[in-house]
Amino acid sequence: MAEAKSSPRKGQADLLPSGDQELFFENLPILLTVEEAATLLRVAEATIYDWNHHEILPKNVILKINGRLRLRTKALEQWISLQNSL
């Protein structure tokens, strides 16, 4: 029997226990694709685009390369830390 996964609420970035977060982010590339960021945050790719469009993600997290969004890993990590401290 499969376990039901609880879906995160929009804007929720409570991902990792604070002690694990630094170690986890060290193994990621400098830039993440939308797909990679969505997987990391356990949200739909559309949510990442939504957060960008509605400026929920800080401007320093987002980078456009040839019209495609990329997310700066370090800036995303800082944003997640800020969300977890609220």
Cα–Cα dist 38/4, whole Å: 19
Q: Is-contact 62 71, C-beta < 8 A?
A: yes
Residue 13 per-residue DSSP state: -
State the pLDDT at residue 31. Answer: 95
Domains of the chain, by residue range, sit at 30-85
Task: Name the CATH architecture for the domain at 30-85.
Answer: Orthogonal Bundle (1.10)
- pLDDT score at 7: 41
Quick one: pLDDT at residue 13? Answer: 44
Query: How does pLDDT run across 22-43, given as a tens digit for each residue?
Result: 556 777 889 999 999 999 889 9
Q: What is the pTM of this model?
A: 0.70
pLDDT over threshold 60, residue 44: yes
- CA-closest candidate to residue 77, choices 49, 57, 52: 57
Residue 23 has which token pair?
């170690």
Counting other chains too, the contacts that 49-56 makes at CB distance below 8 Å and 24 or more residues apart are 50/10, 51/11, 56/11
Q: Is the pLDDT of residue 47 over 90?
A: yes
